Amino acid sequence: MNKRTVFPAFLHGGDYNPDQWLNYPEILKKDVELMKEAHVNCVSLGIFAWAKLEPSEGNYQLDWMAEIIDRLYENGIYTILATPSGAKPMWMSEKYPEIRRVSGATGHRELSGNRHNHCYTSPVYREKVRQINTVLAERFSRHPGVILWHLSNEYGGECHCELCQQAFRDWLREKYGTIEALNHAWWADFWSHTYSDFSQITSPMVGGEHSIHGLTLDWKRFVTHQTVDFMRAEIDAVRAVNPDLPVTTNMMGWYDGLNYYKFGPYVDIVSWDNYPRWHTANNVDIAADAAAAHDIMRSVKRAPWLLMESTPSMTNWQPTSTLKRPGMHMTSSLQAVAHGSDSVQYFQWRKGRGSFEKFHGAVVDHYGGSDTRVFRDVAAVGSRLEEMKPLLETEVRPQVAVVYDVENRWALEDSAGPRRAGIGYTDDVHAWHRAFWEQGIPVDMIDMECDDLSRYKVIAAPMLYMYRAGFEKKLREFVENGGILVGTYNTGIVNDTDLCYLGGWPGETMDLFGLWNEEIDSLPEGATNAMVCRGEGHRRYTVRDLCAIVHAKGAEVLAEYDDDFYKGTPALTVNRYGQGKAYYVAARAEADFLRDFCTKLADDAGVVRALNTALPYGVVPMMRTDETGKAVVFVQNFTGETKPLMLNETCTVFETGEKTDALTLAPYETVILLK
Ligand code: GLA
Ligand code: ZN
């Protein structure tokens, strides 16, 4: 099922761990009362409950869970049911040591304990997971209260055990066929690392090989492959019982251990866990970062998604457990909705009494009552979401995309030059995203396997160092058909196994950009150059870090460097190609450049903004539209100050029905407008 998954309402609730409270029947009863009071309509159940579901091998104890699911359902609360593979029971990891991971940092097998640390190759673990998933599916997957599978929890990490090493070698054999092909693809003759047999290959781990970039890249790809394969085995188990119950797994935004885009085809709906560090730095910067993460996650399927976790107050694992200031809970929750989420879910419903997360924020504190600030904030979000039910028909439909490719990220961050001081890929992706976000323009974050570029008017592709999946051809077609493309320095350097292109950069797109990039200068920390625009105004922007030295070969030069031996050479170019245009930004420019440039791009391309008005700093409108294009706009104030906003058009305030052409936003306030 790869279509939009529609729930009966915006989901509101969170991780519920009654397995920790089975000795407290009064509290379990009270939970349901409190949930109703908090306008909770959905919980995620049993994520770490395996030891209670199967206290000894094959001894399944599901009655307690049945009682909970029934009670919730009778009270109008849905269940997202977890498969419990995220944490393995003690008896299991002691009896079957092979299910424990071998750490890449130490080379040793871990002891029993912790979580998210199973071997994803181990046939024993896969079988144990298949069994428990089957048992859960048989008992609960047709329960009318159960609406979705929550597969495992935050898949992540690597295992370097012998089973995984062998699976890696098999994967490589399948990919390359012969050892000669692998040696060439990895440039393994370097330092005499030529392999004569697949059995000589080991994962990049402590004491092992780290100098073959193709190997490191393929290992990361293998980790994703094996994790997806593990997840698919989980899906097979539950679908064998009931093919109709949709599945999700909760992801982690910018997390770089996995290529989430590879999960897209197999989950029915994407969900993710969002923990911005509100109030620990400039909240507008934090909001920009969260916005980009929401957009990455939505773009995995380019469809509505679920906020699976967020904190109602503070976390416990960040350096400071800073409380959300009044207003921030509403605004951070609705930010997810503005970016396409059909839920606001929390970690966690109730604070546990002991162990690592006893001080993590929760809807219900150890205190136990509903007369708390956090509880009231949560209830307010729940009741607002109820009123917003008609808006479920809308979703985010961007006309702009920024390319964020995780495999490109892996290759770039391992590239050993031109900037070992930090290549800044995610900073660039973030900066380009932000330049559109700040203007109230929705953005998709697409990867290179994206097959449908035609829906976009503008694509910004910072540092496409590695071309893969034929992306250079897709870009060419996009521009030919009238699209506006922006490329930058450090683009088109290597192919998909990290071998540099012969014949000049940017590889196969030299004619698309109409230039040749001969060298890249990496400036020392703090050093700058500048780009000066030709034409009116001669605006000057500071550039730093990376300066590509290029020769225009057909492209028009829009700006040139102002300093150093490459003064006067192109710093910004545009090439007309087919019906479209391909811009090349040769150096990493200051935020003002990105802001001015992206405004011009959006204007030229006729991109629709959420609001057509001047926005005060920190006020960002985002929009969801229905199938006819009718927009609902979430105007959010991410600052602690009151902000006036002229709308330039008359809008209707969603909740009151009042017509208005101006707003005054309180600190951290969100106003929902219908256009
Ligand atoms: C993650 C996990 C949760 C919990 C939270 C705490 O997102 O999925 O189980 O540990 O972090 O912030
Ligand atoms: Zn393993």
Do residue 421 and residue 367 come from a single domain?
A: no
Point out the domain boundary residue: 343, 360, 391.
391
Structure tokens at 95: 């009896």
% of the chain with per-residue pLDDT over 70:
99
The residue whose C-alpha atom lies closest to atom 3 belonging to ligand 1 is: 347
Does one domain contain both 404 and 383?
Answer: no
Query: Quick check: is 484 in a domain?
Result: yes
Q: 292 in a domain, yes or no?
A: yes
Q: Is 203 inside a domain boundary?
A: no
Whether 337 and 304 share a structural domain: yes
Q: Give distance in angstroms: CA of 214 to centre of ligand 2.
A: 21
Give the pocket of ligand 1 (CB within 6 Å).
153-154, 273, 275, 309, 315, 317, 347, 357, 360
Assess whether pLDDT exceeds 90 at residue 68. yes
Pick from 391, 425, 456: which residue ends a domain? Answer: 391
State the chain's mean pLDDT as an integer: 97
Any residues with CB less than 8 A from the CB of 264 and at least 6 apart, and which? Answer: 270, 300, 301
Domain co-membership, 141 together with 281: yes
Please report the atom of ligand 1 found closest to the CA of residue 154. 8
81 alpha carbon – ligand 1 mean position (Å): 16
Q: Domain span at residue 371?
A: 11-84+130-155+229-391
Question: Tens digit of pLDDT for each residue in 391-447?
Answer: 999 999 999 999 999 999 999 999 999 999 999 999 999 999 999 999 999 999 999
Q: How far is CA 54 from CA 61, 85, 365, 367, in A?
A: 6, 12, 29, 31
pLDDT in tens, 608-660: 999 999 999 999 999 999 999 999 999 999 999 999 999 999 999 999 999 99
DSSP result, 205-239: -TTS--S-HHHHHHHHHHHHHHHHHHHHHHHHHHH
pLDDT at 83 over 60: yes
Indicate whether 68 and 22 sit together in one domain: yes
H or E stretch covering 550:
strand 540-552
Mean pLDDT of the 546-573 span: 98
Q: Domain for residue 614, yes or no?
A: no
CATH number of the domain bearing residue 634: 2.60.40.1180
Distance 123 CA to ligand 2 centre (A): 10
Q: Does residue 489 lie within any of the structural domains?
A: yes
Read out DSSP for 447-507?
Answer: -TT---GGG-SEEEETT--B--TTHHHHHHHHHHTT-EEEEESS-S-B-TTSPBPSS-BTG
The residue to mutate among 48, 116, 347, having the most atoms of ligand 1 within 8 angstroms of its beta carbon, is 347
Q: Does residue 183 lie in a domain region?
A: no
Which residue in the list 158, 234, 309, 395 is annotated as catalytic?
Answer: 309
Helices (H) and strands (E) in the chain, counts: 16, 25
Q: How confident is the model at residue 538 (pLDDT cuts 50, 70, 90)?
A: confident
507 and 527 part of one domain: yes
Task: Find the mean pLDDT for residues 594-603.
Answer: 97
Cα-to-centroid distance, 347 and ligand 1 (Å): 6
Question: Is 309 annotated as catalytic?
Answer: yes
Asked, for residue 112, whether it belongs to a domain, the answer is no
- In tens, the pLDDT along 206-264 reads 999 999 999 999 999 999 999 999 999 999 999 999 999 999 999 999 999 999 999 99
Point out the ligand nearest to the CA of residue 103. Answer: 2
For residue 528, list its beta bridge partners: 544
pLDDT band at 64 (very low <50, low <70, confident <90, very high): very high
pLDDT of residue 1: 38
Nearest Cα residue to atom 12 of ligand 1: 315
- State which amino acid sits at residue 404: Y
Residue 96 has φ and ψ, to the nearest 5°, of: -125, 80
- Percentage with pLDDT > 90 across the chain: 98
Whether 383 and 479 share a structural domain = no
| Residue 558 pLDDT exceeds 50 | yes
Number of the ligand 1 atom closest to the C-alpha atom of 275: 12
309 CA closest ligand 1 atom index:
7
470 falls in which pLDDT band (50, 70, 90)? very high
Q: Given ligand 1 and candidates 357, 358, 363, which is best to mutate, with the most ligand atoms within 8 Å of its CB?
A: 357
Least Cα distance to 12 among 405, 342, 239 occurs for 342
In our burial notation (b when 16+ CB lie closer than 10 A, e otherwise), range 159-172 reads bbbebbbebbbebb
Give residue-wise pLDDT tens across range 290-326: 999 999 999 999 999 999 999 999 999 999 999 999 9
* Predicted pLDDT at 536: 76
Same structural domain, 572 and 660:
no
Query: Given ligand 1 and candidates 273, 306, 322, which is best to mutate, with the most ligand atoms within 8 Å of its CB?
Result: 273
Cα 164 to ligand 2 centre (Å) = 4
Size of the chain, expressed as the number of residues it contains: 675
Task: Using the mean position of ligand 2's atoms as its centre, give its distance from the Cα of residue 338 in Å.
Answer: 40
pTM value surpassing 0.95: yes
Is 162 inside a domain boundary?
Answer: no
Query: In total, how many domains does the chain have?
Result: 3
> Do residue 437 and residue 573 come from a single domain?
yes
Long-range Cβ pairs for the range 59-68 (8 Å, 24+)? 60/132, 60/135, 62/135, 62/136, 62/139, 62/140, 64/18, 64/19, 64/22, 65/139, 65/140, 66/139, 66/140, 68/18, 68/28
The residue whose CA has the least distance to atom 5 of ligand 1 is 347
Q: Is the peptide bond before 506 cis (omega within 30 degrees of 0)?
A: yes
pLDDT digits (tens, 9 = 90+) for 99-128: 999 999 999 999 999 999 999 999 999 999
Whether 154 sits among the annotated catalytic residues: the reply is yes
Smallest-distance ligand from the CA of 101: 2
DSSP H helical segments within 242-354, as ranges?
A: 283-301, 328-338
One domain, residues 405 and 469: yes
Instruction: List the CATH number of the domain containing 515.
Output: 3.40.50.880
pLDDT of residue 3: 43
- Report the DSSP beta bridge partners of residue 401: 444, 459
Kindly state the average pLDDT of the residues 59-85: 98
Atom of ligand 1 nearest to the CA of 47: 9
Q: Please tell me whether residues 601 and 653 are part of one structural domain.
A: no
pLDDT of 2 strictly over 80:
no
Q: How far apart are CA 510 and CA 174, in angstroms?
A: 33
CA distance 13 to 79: 10
Q: What is the DSSP letter of 665?
A: E
For the residues 33-54, what does the mean pLDDT come to? 98
Nearest atom (ligand 1) to Cα of 48? 9
Classify strands 458-461 and 400-403 as parallel, antiparallel or unpaired: parallel
Distance 508 CA to ligand 2 centre (A): 39
Please indicate, yes or no, whether residues 20 and 65 belong to a single structural domain of this protein.
Answer: yes
Q: Are 555 and 576 in contact (CB under 8 A)?
A: no
Rounded CA separation 254/247 (Å): 21
Q: From 347, 368, 391, give the residue that closes a domain.
A: 391
Instruction: Please say whether the dihedral angle defined by the alpha carbons of residues 226, 228, 230 and 236, taken in this order, is positive or negative.
Output: negative
* Calpha distance 214→209 (Å, rounded): 11
User: Which residue has its alpha carbon closest to ligand 1 atom 1?
Assistant: 273
